[in-house]
Chain A
Amino acid sequence: MTMKIVLEHLYLVLMSVLFSTAVGLPLGIFAYLYRPARQVVLWVSEILQTIPALALLGMVMVLFGAGKPTVIIGLVLYSLLPIVHNTFLGLDGINPGIKEAARGMGLSKSDRLFSIELPLALPMVFTGIRIATVTGVGVAVFATSVGGGGLGAIINQGIRTQNMRLIFSGTLTLMAMAVVFDAGMALIEKRMNRRATH
């Protein structure tokens, strides 16, 4: 197994989390601000997640052809749910007293959102991003089925050729990646929460 494949896997995960945050965060805010859209946004992100990852990638592939963009688009759709949900829940769960105080101080709606509500919701949003990242590491295994490479290629090759060493090296690398992301981001989360409560 080469470093190139590990980096390829990392690239797929990081790009998809990046785009997923870029799409999911505004969607979560939109669901929070605009009541009628709330149910629709939350439902759509939930339905996307019920589609098997492989099928989702397959359908995206039909539209965009085999390759990395397909994998990234598929992963973005797949990891929207935790980010959208947590953004919404984080904003919705802010103590109403604080919102009231901000309104009482005469802050405009956008001022309230950007300088009060979003900073307070940040730890929750970050939890969503963490969930999306760790899930993404696992789902990206399917990338190889639609020509995206990554660790899935090693694992699939190992299974096809009944090569235990290959299967294990691919799997252990994958697990290590998931655990490192999970633990590292949990650490940042803890720090955010501590800052938020003080």
Chain B
Amino acid sequence: MSFWDLYGQKLLVAIGVHFLYVLAAVSIGFVIALALGILLSRAPGIAKVALPLISVFQTIPGVVFIGLLFLSLGMVPATAIIALAIYAVFPILKNTYVGLLSVDKSLLEAARGCGMSKMQSLFEVELPLALPSIIGGLRMSTVYTVSWAVLASMIGLGGLGEFIYIGIATNNNALIVAGAIPSGIMAIVLSLLIDAVKKRVTHAPKKEASAA
């Protein structure tokens, strides 16, 4: 029996589960990070304390996080998704914050001069200008999450990590590779996709301007 006959179906399921973990975790992480990033950019005083604290927090290895959540929540997909989402937050949060702060001050002044409210200035001037940086953070988070999602299988929650763990435990090269390659490809494809989106959104305003 060939490898594919034995494991093909399992592998497809594992890829699907892995992808769903990444999608859920990055989406949740993105929303939280964007909100926190905007809030912190309004309060740089707090950000100066909060950002280093979060980066220390980030050094906690994923194994510990998933392990601790597992002990308190049990073996449910939410455990893996929460842990992964927490990890996905930081790169996006940092890039949102830096992106918002590096918006040219004269543009903010101009927005105020045009009679924009603080909200309008945020949504129509600052966020669009910070978008490339925010998407850069999203890309980083996505690539990391694809890699971290391997840990889900440590607590029996499937995904491509299952192949890798079993492969390591039984010294089976084919299984390790069968887990590693799809997750590598997933990371590359997702980052290319995000790059494409970034290209589009960063070019869009220019086109509009020339059309007008």
- Please give the residue numbers on chain A whose beta carbons come within 8 Å of chain B beta carbons, in ascending order: 47, 49-59, 61-62, 134, 137-138, 141-142, 145-146, 152, 155-156, 158-159, 162, 167, 170-171, 174-175, 178-179
Q: Known contacts A52-B183, A58-B176; is A174 also within 8 Å of B161 by CB?
A: no
Q: Across the interface, name the chain A residue whose C-beta is closest to B155.
A: A159
Q: Is the CB of B67 within 8 A of A159?
A: yes
Q: Is the CB of A59 within 8 A of B177?
A: yes
A-B contact pairs, 6 of them (CB 8 A): A51-B183, A55-B150, A55-B164, A59-B180, A138-B61, A167-B64
Is B209 close to A, CB under 8 A?
no
Is B120 close to A, CB under 8 A?
no
CB distance from A89 to the nearest CB of B (A): 15
The listed residue (B143, B151, B180, B188) touching A58 by CB distance below 8 A is B180
Q: Across the interface, name the chain A residue whose C-beta is closest to B172.
A: A62
A170: B residues at CB distance < 8 A: 64
Q: Is the CB of A159 within 8 A of B63?
A: yes
Q: Across the interface, name the chain A residue whose C-beta is closest to B65.
A: A171
Is B179 close to A, CB under 8 A?
yes
Q: Across the interface, name the chain A residue whose C-beta is closest to B154.
A: A159
Interface of A is mostly: helix
Is B157 close to A, CB under 8 A?
no
A54 to B143: give the CA distance in the assembly, Å.
15
How many pairs, one residue from A and one from B, have CB atoms within 8 Å of each other in the complex? 94
Contact with A along B163-179 (1 / 0, CB 8 A): 01101100101001101
Is B187 close to A, CB under 8 A?
yes
CB distance from A109 to the nearest CB of B (A): 34
Q: Is the CB of B61 within 8 A of A50?
A: no
Is B71 close to A, CB under 8 A?
yes
Q: Known contacts A50-B146, A55-B150, A137-B59; is A61 also within 8 Å of B168 by CB?
A: yes
Q: Which of B64, B68, B171 has the most CB of A within 10 A?
A: B64
Q: Is the CB of B164 within 8 A of A54?
A: yes
Q: Is the CB of B173 within 8 A of A50?
A: no
Q: Known contacts A59-B180, A171-B61; is A53 also within 8 Å of B147 by CB?
A: yes
Q: A54-B151, A159-B64 are in contact. List 9 more A-B contacts (CB 8 A).
A: A47-B188, A50-B183, A52-B150, A55-B179, A58-B167, A59-B173, A155-B63, A175-B56, A178-B59
The listed residue (B146, B150, B173) touching A54 by CB distance below 8 A is B150
Q: Across the interface, name the chain B residue whose C-beta is closest to A144.
A: B63
Q: Known contacts A47-B184, A155-B64; is A59 also within 8 Å of B59 by CB?
A: no
CB distance from A29 to the nearest CB of B (A): 26
The listed residue (B67, B160, B183) touching A167 by CB distance below 8 A is B67
Is B204 close to A, CB under 8 A?
no
Q: Is the CB of B161 within 8 A of A54?
A: yes
Is B60 close to A, CB under 8 A?
yes
Q: Which of A52, A62, A137, A170 has the most CB of B within 10 A?
A: A52
A174 to B151: give the CA distance in the assembly, Å.
18
Contact with A along B61-105 (1 / 0, CB 8 A): 101100110110000000000000000000000000000000000
Q: Is the CB of A50 within 8 A of B188?
A: yes
A49 to B171: give the CA distance in the assembly, Å.
23
Q: Known contacts A50-B143, A51-B184, A52-B147; is A146 also within 8 Å of B63 by CB?
A: no
A162 to B67: give the CA distance in the assembly, Å.
9
